[in-house]
Structure 1
Amino acid sequence: MTQTPSEAITFPTGRPGPFDPPERLAALRAERPVAPLLYPDGRTGWLVTGHSAVRAILSDPRFSSRRELLNVPVPHPLLQEMRHPAEPGLFIRMDPPDHTRYRRQLTAQFTVRRMKALEPRIAEITREHLDAMEKAGPPLDLVRAFALPIPSLVICELLGVPYADRDEFQRATAALLSLESSLEEIRAAIGGIAAFFARLIALKRADPADDLLSGLIENGELTDEELGNVGLLLLVAGHETTANMLGIGTFALLEHPDQLAALRADPSLIDNAVEELLRHLGIIHIGPMRAALEDVEVEGELIRAGEVVTISVPAANRDPARFPDPDRLDVTRPASGHLTFGHGLHQCLGQQLARVEMRIAFPMLFDRFPGLRLAVPAEEVAMRDTMTIYGVRALPVEW
């Protein structure tokens, strides 16, 4: 079946609640899991909502991640600049063999052993922030006091970025990820981070340490420009995604007291709970995108060469064909198979680090503050609807 422009829908927005994706996605998944999509620039492509179709596309080398071939399903100030190939080091917008070259070096740094070795330090960082929360007293914003600083400090230590510079990169990251930023604001943020990493790389070359950035420099295969862009990707992805999972995950558990009680009653459920929160909450709510390099048929739909596919991870993670009763948060559910970290060649490098941080931070938070509760009505919690990574803007809590 092929598409006609008149059939194409616009990208669904508007959530029925803070934890659920737009209702239109479920209807599309049931009716036409590979559906024609109208992009903001007038071109037509596809929106994929079914779990099996998403897995098939993400693992198919006939679909490209090259930036110059892609399109964005929502208005974005960088749309015109995306028409050009990705800058050296921005490997998530590349295909093999370029992607392979960068990925190979980074995989050697993100070992399971290294992530395991970080656990005591992550627990120490978490404890320090809980101590500070207790000292400050309620009410406070859990995002600023807990969810954001913990993964920020962890990725800074892993990369070798001075945590004292966190305000600078967090402001720049917020500008980069906001759909409301102007082109000038985004360019300024990119320029600021580039200058930041240029200074840092020069320092690391002169005085290397036991960190990931120093390790990449020591390998000697990457230019300073490549190192800076790799650092940018890891810094942004390494704190924004986990920070939003800690924030919205806490919100979800507070709003589902039966699930929080089940987790407290059986702490061994924490691995299941982390996977279920990752599945259920869908913070990657716009994309990823892929472009067909040749004509490909996916579940009866012919995607022609050059057409862009937008994947809905939240819809795929709520597919009843893969997860029974998918709209229910259930911390006892074996939720493996969710697509929050992607699938295939571009599966998230830092997924084990994110899991470790959540497995440590959630139990420590609720053990320290068993009476933790929202300090405002749930409907007053501001959500990140206009950001490329979904979550809570702030989470006022008390105990």
Structure 2
Amino acid sequence: MNETRPAFPLERPSGCPFDPATGYAELRDRKAPSKVTTPAGVDAWVVTRYDDVRTVLRDPRLSSRNAPSEHVVVDAELDRELESGSILQNDGQAHRRLRRLLATEFAVKRMEAYRPRIAALVDEHIDAMLAHGGPIDLVEAFALPIPSLVICELLGVPYEDREQFQERSAVLVAIDTDPEKSWAAVEGLNQFLAGLVLAKQAKRDDDLLSRVITRGEELGEDLTLEELVSIGFTLLIAGHETTANMIALSTLALLREPGQLAALQKDPDLAVTAVEELLRYLSVVQFGLFRHVTDDLPAGPATLEAGDFLVAALSAANRDPEVFENPDELDVTRTGSAHVAFGFGPHQCLGQQLARVELQEVFSRLYARIPTLRLAVPFEEIKFKDNTLVYGVQALPVTW
């Protein structure tokens, strides 16, 4: 077994900011998990092959108790007490209970019923951009407000409070934030959500949090204030950070591939396959998923021992040439093998169908309604989010 310990995260290539670290290909070619040294101060096995990533993420001998991104937090506290309501950190029956109470809210049928509202929000923001005229920052004017509005409406959060959670979210997804600042962001968001939950418990509305409170009571599985705050915390951050970054980063990728953009403009129905391809190609959860091995686990020719740590490198798996033909090429017509951008197994992203609907409506409308959309600055001036859990661009100045 090769005992080299490359530092993690591995660096992206300088030539293409859309590609994962070149070091992943070398690790993948070894046909076995390798160890890396993480910012959290531990060595972890890194799994890079598509089949291996899917295999380990569905194995019950892997625990997510340290949260999916803890490995990139410097000196992270890996043995801290579990949050009782964290759908990300709990495993087994505790996780299944929370997921069962939430699953109905993100079912395909419910998300499809919400599609007309999402389409209307997309059109409203395109109208506003056209009225304003270019140049304009697509992140601020379009990519961020749409998913923020959607998750606010779903959870029953007043949209006028969006700046509170957007600012705190930006702090929490950065991997180089001062610990005191991170703690203050957590505390502030928890206090905000506690007030919101208490209001929902007193007076139910037609929103996700109210329905989950009621569903728990009806099933005899009442959720505590702590659990409801944790659920709201996770959904509020995950519900807008990933989608907002996907909208902006995907737009930039398409502007760099005019043939792919032209195909999508010619046939907006390609939005369905384009979304899946861009999720695969970009893999915005850029540092993979962190897991703790609870019992000896065979992984190819290696055996991971109880107590070991593991990183499932989603971006590497999504570029595996044994699964995807010409994996480093963007092809909005690509069909076939499913990507793992949403993870895999029991902790696969609960809100993936919501993200799909949002992205499909954006991709089928934005480029058709503004066919001359283009960068307003040289590509070399675009700054990327290399230091955040979700990859993207800091701003995207565009015009038409």
CA gap 1:202/1:260 in 2 versus in 1, 3 angstroms = same
Which residue does 1:298 correspond to in 2?
Answer: 299
CA distance in 2, matches of 1:350, 1:91: 12
Report if the CA contact (8 A) 2:297-2:303 is conserved: yes
Match of residue 191, structure 2, among 173, 185, 195: 195
Which residue does 2:113 correspond to in 1?
Answer: 117
CA distance in 2, matches of 1:331, 1:62: 36
CA distance in 1, matches of 2:374, 2:44: 44
Identity of aligned residues (%): 47
CA distance in 2, matches of 1:376, 1:97: 51
Which residue does 1:241 correspond to in 2?
Answer: 242
Instruction: Please tell me the residue identity of whatever aligns with 2:390.
Output: I
The alpha carbon displacement at 1:352 in A equals 0.5
Deviates more, 1:25-34 or 1:363-372: 25-34
CA distance in 2, matches of 1:73, 1:327: 26
Which residue does 1:161 correspond to in 2?
Answer: 157
Residue 65 of structure 1 pairs with residue 64 of structure 2 = yes
The alpha carbon displacement at 1:84 in A equals 1.1
Report if the CA contact (8 A) 2:139-2:396 is conserved: yes
The alpha carbon displacement at 1:71 in A equals 8.2
Which residue does 1:287 correspond to in 2?
Answer: 288
Instruction: Please tell me the residue identity of whatever aligns with 1:251.
Output: L
Q: Secondary structure at the match of 1:109?
A: helix
The alpha carbon displacement at 1:266 in A equals 2.2
Q: Deviations over 1:33-75 (max 9, x none)?
A: 411122335532201111011001001111111228x884434
Report if the CA contact (8 A) 2:248-2:392 is conserved: yes
Which residue does 1:25 correspond to in 2?
Answer: 24
Instruction: Please tell me the residue identity of whatever aligns with 1:184.
Output: E
The alpha carbon displacement at 1:76 in A equals 2.8
Q: Deviations over 1:303-342 (max 9, x none)?
A: 1111000111111000000101000000111154100011
Q: Secondary structure at the match of 2:148?
A: helix
Match of residue 7, structure 2, among 5, 10, 26: 10
Residue 38 of structure 1 pairs with residue 34 of structure 2 = no
CA gap 1:293/1:352 in 2 versus in 1, 3 angstroms = same
Which residue does 1:378 correspond to in 2?
Answer: 379
Report if the CA contact (8 A) 2:273-2:335 is conserved: yes
CA distance in 1, matches of 2:302, 2:69: 19
CA distance in 1, matches of 2:286, 2:69: 15
Give every structure 1 segment of 4 or more consecutive aligned residues whose post-TM-superposition deviation is greater than 6 Å.
none
CA distance in 2, matches of 1:384, 1:311: 20
Instruction: Please tell me the residue identity of whatever aligns with 2:295.
Output: E
Which residue does 2:276 correspond to in 1?
Answer: 275
CA distance in 1, matches of 2:305, 2:192: 42
Which residue does 2:103 correspond to in 1?
Answer: 107
Instruction: Please tell me the residue identity of whatever aligns with 1:152.
Output: S
Q: Secondary structure at the match of 1:92?
A: coil
Match of residue 86, structure 1, among 82, 85, 93: 82
CA gap 1:335/1:286 in 2 versus in 1, 3 angstroms = farther
The alpha carbon displacement at 1:383 in A equals 0.5
Instruction: Please tell me the residue identity of whatever aligns with 1:97.
Output: Q
Q: Deviations over 1:256-286 (max 9, x none)?
A: 0000111122222211111000000010111
Report if the CA contact (8 A) 2:324-2:337 is conserved: no
Which residue does 2:228 correspond to in 1?
Answer: 227
Q: Secondary structure at the match of 1:67?
A: coil
Q: Secondary structure at the match of 2:105?
A: coil
Q: Secondary structure at the match of 1:10?
A: coil
Please give the residue correspondences for 1:125-274 in structure 2 after superposition, counting only pairs within 5 Å.
Answer: 125-218=121-214, 219-220=216-217, 221-274=222-275
CA distance in 1, matches of 2:137, 2:74: 29
CA distance in 2, matches of 1:360, 1:336: 23
Which residue does 2:358 correspond to in 1?
Answer: 357
CA distance in 1, matches of 2:44, 2:255: 39
CA distance in 2, matches of 1:41, 1:228: 26
Which residue does 1:76 correspond to in 2?
Answer: 74
Q: Deviations over 1:288-313 (max 9, x none)?
A: 11111111111111111110001111
Q: Deviations over 1:151-195 (max 9, x none)?
A: 110111011111110000000000000112111111111111111
Unmatched tracts of structure 1, length 5 or more: none
Report if the CA contact (8 A) 1:39-1:71 is conserved: no
Instruction: Please tell me the residue identity of whatever aligns with 1:162.
Output: P
Report if the CA contact (8 A) 1:316-1:339 is conserved: yes
Instruction: Please tell me the residue identity of whatever aligns with 2:131.
Output: K
Report if the CA contact (8 A) 1:66-1:85 is conserved: no
CA distance in 2, matches of 1:292, 1:265: 48
Q: Deviations over 1:220-246 (max 9, x none)?
A: 310111101100000111100111110
The alpha carbon displacement at 1:397 in A equals 0.2
Deviates more, 1:315-324 or 1:7-16: 7-16
Query: Considering only aligned residues, what root-mean-square deviation do their CA atoms show, in Å?
Result: 1.6
Report if the CA contact (8 A) 2:24-2:48 is conserved: yes
CA distance in 1, matches of 2:82, 2:371: 47
Which residue does 1:329 correspond to in 2?
Answer: 330
Which residue does 1:343 correspond to in 2?
Answer: 344
